[in-house]
Amino acid sequence: MQVIRSIAELRNWRKDAGTVAFVPTMGNLHAGHLALVAEAHRHAQKVVVSIFVNRLQFGQGEDFDAYPRTFDADCAKLEAAGVDVLFFPTEAELYPRVRQAYNVEPPNLQNELCGAFRPGHFRGVATVVTKLFNIVEPDFACFGKKDYQQLAVIRGMVEDLNSPVVVVPVDTGRADDGLALSSRNGYLSDAERAEAPRLYRNLSLIREALAGGDSDYAALEARAKDDLTAHGWRVDYVEVRHAHSLEVAHAGEKHLVVLAAARLGRTRLIDNIEVDR
Amino acid sequence: MQVIRSIAELRNWRKDAGTVAFVPTMGNLHAGHLALVAEAHRHAQKVVVSIFVNRLQFGQGEDFDAYPRTFDADCAKLEAAGVDVLFFPTEAELYPRVRQAYNVEPPNLQNELCGAFRPGHFRGVATVVTKLFNIVEPDFACFGKKDYQQLAVIRGMVEDLNSPVVVVPVDTGRADDGLALSSRNGYLSDAERAEAPRLYRNLSLIREALAGGDSDYAALEARAKDDLTAHGWRVDYVEVRHAHSLEVAHAGEKHLVVLAAARLGRTRLIDNIEVDR
């Protein structure tokens, strides 16, 4: 595996690389990321992974400085996964002017769900992904469904700005007890880790109810929030939405997604489940 | 010359096209556009011109509906200029959702100079150029210095978003009396056309003063505005700025540009001159 740190060198490599599938990450890699890499191999001759902790998508008081940097361990995993190029730029390489002046601005969806709790987050995601797409020029790019709203923003952006990239959504990797794999799981104490699967269990209960024909979204959301709160969670949201647009779902809607974000101690966990009925 | 109307067909053609230089236009082509095409031929194997009157960059009350559509004459000129592909999409092709949801947002510069008189204009320009770049995937793109602020926005965007495109600035084409070539010149009455070169003459006077060491920008700007106003113009602005950043110039600055926008009757004319001293 080649580790490339400069944009110029990456562009030079890209010229003769054939088809490329790309997996942008912030490092601290786990099995969920490796599932993205495995999917990437199915689409193109070469696989590029980037590791870049993107300051632009962290808000004030969020965990940018504390975000785990585990470069050596990440390299070993990517090497073993057959990645061709790891793109690992410095902040100065990606943000030479310090302040990013031109931004990709998503529509109002960016201020709902997670966006309501993380102002500017999805602008930061859309902008860095645009930059990375322009540098790597991938044919395919893999994004996990775990960050469902992020996936929706990237898909919308690619479609609306005509990016020449095919977005490949990849199912969420889970621990045996259902907890969605996430870099932030590493922040959990043993007791919190034991409690954490409750988020997925509540989403599963809502899925069962929806699949059975229940369309009282508000009641289903409230029941899940109550259960989480009763067990020490601080709930940001539990919402049933239209699966593709992420708009508020009408009763009887067939393609749904149930999304949730909640905090256990200092750790914010998110998860979601799609429901077709 | 191949006329391509669909994005899919353009992408298909692009695959085997080799290097491509691109000239985005809104049609109603004149010698200034053909100078862009000639420059484009110097950079790449194939030249693509687009004609698309971009609603997104017209404000309320601007001339979107009245903007001249002269497709047959444009085709003849581009054919004669050796253009390989004319990309001529419909609005439904480029804006299928009607409302563009994701936009490229330029920094505050977008609200100064012409931007102060055309709210949202440069957002519309940056967004459609991003879309066209993503569709045409050019190696080079030619933009006229006549629209100097537009050029600055495109250059800033390409640099800041790492677009894999080399921006080629092209000098402003002028009539024998100095008037900058522009589609909007066609709106001028005979009397207005005779008066119109005064804009360039005033910019030239400021250039001479600056080149001679004068740094009293405010006085130079005021003299030009007074002269124009006295001859029936309504002046939007005459400003001396830093040539690259377009920021307000300090006294003694070496790389300057003098920019002006003023209205003759119903027609808004813009022009500029760079000054290195």
Q: What is the pLDDT of residues A150-166, one digit of tens each?
A: 999 999 999 999 999 99
A173 annotated ligand-binding residue: yes
A211 annotated ligand-binding residue: no
Asked if the Cβ–Cβ distance from B126 to A102 is below 8 Å, we say: yes
Query: Which residues on chain B place their C-beta less than 8 Å from a C-beta of chain A?
Result: 7, 11, 97, 100-107, 126-127, 130-131, 134-135, 137, 156-157, 160-164
pLDDT given for residue B84 in this prediction:
98
Q: Is A178 part of any domain?
A: no
Tell me the nearest-neighbour CA distance from B104 into chain A, angstroms: 5
Measured in degrees and rounded to the nearest 5, phi and psi for residue B103 equal -130, 150
What percent of chain B lies above the pLDDT cut of 90?
A: 96
B14 and B151 together in one domain: yes
Asked if the Cβ–Cβ distance from B134 to A164 is below 8 Å, we say: yes
Q: Is A177 part of any domain?
A: no
- Has residue A274 got a pLDDT over 80? yes
B17 and B127 together in one domain: yes
Domain containing A230 equals 183-272
Q: Is B31 part of any domain?
A: yes
Q: How far is CA A31 from CA A69, A151, A183, B164, in A?
A: 16, 19, 10, 32
B102 vs A100, A101, A161: nearest CB? A161
Q: Is A176 part of any domain?
A: no
Domain count, chain B: 2
- Has residue B98 got a pLDDT over 90? no
A134 vs B135, B156, B164: nearest CB? B164
Q: Is A191 part of any domain?
A: yes
Tell me the nearest-neighbour CA distance from A156 into chain B, angstroms: 8
Give the strand pairing for A267-276 and A255-264: antiparallel
B69 and B138 together in one domain: yes
pLDDT given for residue B36 in this prediction:
98
**pLDDT tens digits along B207-237:** 999 999 999 999 999 999 999 999 999 999 9
Q: Provide the CATH number for the domain around residue A153.
A: 3.40.50.620
Distance, CA of A195 to chain centre: 22
B219 annotated ligand-binding residue: no
A63 and A139 together in one domain: yes
- Has residue B63 got a pLDDT over 90? no
Is residue B168 classed exposed, middle or buried when 0-12, 13-18 and 19+ CB atoms within 10 A define those classes? middle
Are the CB atoms for A100 and A56 separated by under 8 Å? yes
B162 vs A7, A104, A156: nearest CB? A7
Kindly identify which residue of chain B lies nearest to residue A130, measuring between CA atoms.
B161
What percent of chain A lies above the pLDDT cut of 70?
A: 100
How many Å apart are CA B147 and CA B155, to the nearest integer? Answer: 12
pLDDT given for residue B219 in this prediction:
98
What percent of chain B lies above the pLDDT cut of 70?
A: 100
**pLDDT tens digits along B143-158:** 999 999 999 999 999 9
A37 and A93 together in one domain: yes
Q: In the predicted model, what is the mean pLDDT of residues B78-87?
A: 98
Kindly identify which residue of chain B lies nearest to residue A106, measuring between CA atoms.
B102
Last residue of a domain, one of B118, B148, B170: B170
A215 annotated ligand-binding residue: no
| B14 band by pLDDT with thresholds 50, 70 and 90 | very high
Q: Is A142 part of any domain?
A: yes
Q: In the predicted model, what is the mean pLDDT of residues B100-124?
A: 97
Q: In the predicted model, what is the mean pLDDT of residues A242-247?
A: 94
Are the CB atoms for A267 and A201 separated by under 8 Å? no
Q: Which value, in Å, is the radius of gyration of the alpha carbons in chain B? A: 19
Q: Name which of B50, B54, B102 to mutate to probe chain A: the one with the most chain A Cβ atoms within 10 A of its Cβ.
A: B102
- Has residue A37 got a pLDDT over 90? yes
**pLDDT tens digits along A106-119:** 999 999 999 999 99
Least confident of A244-253, B22-31, B168-177: A244-253
Kindly identify which residue of chain B lies nearest to residue A155, measuring between CA atoms.
B102
B145 and B226 together in one domain: no
Q: Is A25 part of any domain?
A: yes
pLDDT given for residue B5 in this prediction:
98
B102 and B131 together in one domain: yes
Long-range Cβ contact pairs of A112-118 (< 8 A, separation 24 or more):
A112/A246, A113/A149, A113/A237, A113/A239, A113/A241, A113/A246, A113/A259, A113/A261, A114/A149, A114/A236, A114/A261, A114/A270, A115/A149, A116/A236, A116/A237, A117/A236, A117/A237, A117/A261, A118/A59, A118/A62
| B97 band by pLDDT with thresholds 50, 70 and 90 | confident
Residue-by-residue DSSP string for A207-247: HHHHHTT---HHHHHHHHHHHHHHTT-EEEEEEEEETTT-P
A94 and A142 together in one domain: yes
B35 and B164 together in one domain: yes
Chain B positions touching A102 (Cβ under 8 A) are 104-107, 126, 156-157, 160-161
A45 and A121 together in one domain: yes
**pLDDT tens digits along A123-138:** 999 999 999 999 999 9
Place of tokens 């959301």: A221
Q: In the predicted model, what is the mean pLDDT of residues B256-268?
A: 97
Asked if the Cβ–Cβ distance from B130 to A157 is below 8 Å, we say: no
Asked if the Cβ–Cβ distance from A101 to B131 is below 8 Å, we say: no
Which token pair is B65?
A: 């509906």
Query: Which residues on chain A place their C-beta less than 8 Å from a C-beta of chain B?
Result: 7, 11, 97, 100-107, 126-127, 130-131, 134-135, 137, 156-157, 160-164
Distance, CA of B17 to chain centre: 26
pLDDT given for residue A97 in this prediction:
86
Assess whether A255 carries a catalytic annotation.
no
B201 and B75 together in one domain: no
Which token pair is A126?
A: 């859309």
- Has residue B99 got a pLDDT over 90? no
- Has residue A240 got a pLDDT over 80? yes
- Kindly report the length of chain A: 277
Chain B positions touching A156 (Cβ under 8 A) are 101-102
B163 and B242 together in one domain: no
- CB count, 10 Å around CB of A114? 20
Last residue of a domain, one of B120, B147, B170: B170
Q: Provide the CATH number for the domain around residue A247.
A: 3.30.1300.10
Asked if the Cβ–Cβ distance from B103 to A105 is below 8 Å, we say: yes
Q: Is B10 part of any domain?
A: yes
Measured in degrees and rounded to the nearest 5, phi and psi for residue A261 equal -140, 135
Kindly identify which residue of chain B lies nearest to residue A161, measuring between CA atoms.
B131
Kindly identify which residue of chain A lies nearest to residue B100, measuring between CA atoms.
A160
Q: How far is CA B226 from CA A165, A252, B40, B180, B248, in A?
A: 53, 67, 39, 21, 21
Are the CB atoms for A275 and A211 separated by under 8 Å? yes
Computed over every residue of chain B, the mean pLDDT equals 97
| A244 band by pLDDT with thresholds 50, 70 and 90 | confident
Tell me the nearest-neighbour CA distance from B64 into chain A, angstroms: 22
Last residue of a domain, one of A170, A202, A218: A170
Chain B positions touching A103 (Cβ under 8 A) are 104-105
